[in-house]
Amino acid sequence: MSAKILDGKAIAAELRESIRQEVDKQVAAGKPRPGLAVIMVGEDPASQVYVRNKKIACEKAGFKDVSQVLPAQTSQEDVLALIDELNADDTVHGIIVQLPVPEHINAEAIIERIHPCKDVDGFHPYNVGRLATRMMQLAPCTPHGVMTMLAKTGIPLRGLNAVVVGASNIVGVPMMLELLNERATVTICHSATKDLPKMVSEADLVVVGVGIPNMVKGDWIKDGAIVIDVGINRMEDGTLCGDVEFDVAKEKASWITPVPGGVGPMTIATLLENTMKVAYELECKL
Ligand code: GUN
């Protein structure tokens, strides 16, 4: 079988266009533009690319962009003070701090300081708890974007054997919860998993987010499986490569995401979706 490509770039462009139209409609009705604050501390090169892309997407969708780049030596107190300020600002609907942060900053303290109703990354324990208890409000952008892509295949997830490789807070764990909420049978694999090739070979759906180029081999994939590759690894020659051995996997899968142009663009489109939800839809009860 040669897989159909799940074109994240096209699906994300469609989603961003529908968001832009909704913003125009709401603004015409007198509502404010959604305001998004992306805070970056330091100069991590990968983060610089993400943050620039988020800024461009924000402006194109008609959002108010209140991004801030802080020097690498900024103290934790100063980052927390900026978050407090943004939490109190009614024109700011969403706040995210780009990860990783420099070593002297405690990422957990930062995540917990963002008001849960403005936590458009969905990383605050309140929002993770809501996702885990099937009361989802703001879900982490990458896994939620994957769910939007999976819906495009038209394949029901109920009852599928889903294997998630990688157990991070940003990808693996919320991915597991999203798939469970759709009644898939979910296995989560990580660095202590005993026989990863066997686990993957039994999966109808595989989602990989580990950050190791070509870690999942194409010949592990079951015939007809859906393969979602969350990895974006920059190789020495400057090219981007996923966590799945694409050329071999695409001959076995029914659907597969490319890298680049797969999951990556969906993360940003979902961030806009979450921010718009805060601006126009959610009622904050906290
Ligand atoms: N670093 C890698 N992915 C993400 C993300 O989705 N949000 C934030 N804040 N940082 C990240």
pLDDT, tens only, 247-284:
999 999 999 999 999 999 999 999 999 999 999 999 99
Q: Are 235 and 247 within 8 A, CB to CB?
A: no
Asked if pLDDT for residue 94 goes beyond 90, the answer is: yes
pTM: 0.97
Give percent of the chain above pLDDT 90. Answer: 98
Number of the ligand 1 atom closest to the C-alpha atom of 100: 1
How far does the centroid of ligand 1 lie from the alpha carbon of residue 192, in Å? 24
CA distances from 46 to 49, 51, 106, 199, 234 (A): 5, 9, 20, 31, 9
Q: What pLDDT is recorded for position 87?
A: 98
Residue-wise pLDDT tens digits, 171-185:
999 999 999 999 999
Q: Indicate which residue of 54, 118, 222, 252 is catalytic.
A: 54
Give yes or no for residue 141 CB within 6 A of ligand 1. Answer: yes
Is there a catalytic annotation at residue 223? no
Q: In the predicted model, what is the mean pLDDT of residues 64-93?
A: 97
Asked if pLDDT for residue 19 goes beyond 80, the answer is: yes
Residue-wise pLDDT tens digits, 28-74:
999 999 999 999 999 998 899 989 999 999 999 999 999 999 999 99
Q: Is the peptide bond before 100 cis (omega within 30 degrees of 0)?
A: yes
CA distance 55 to 120: 15
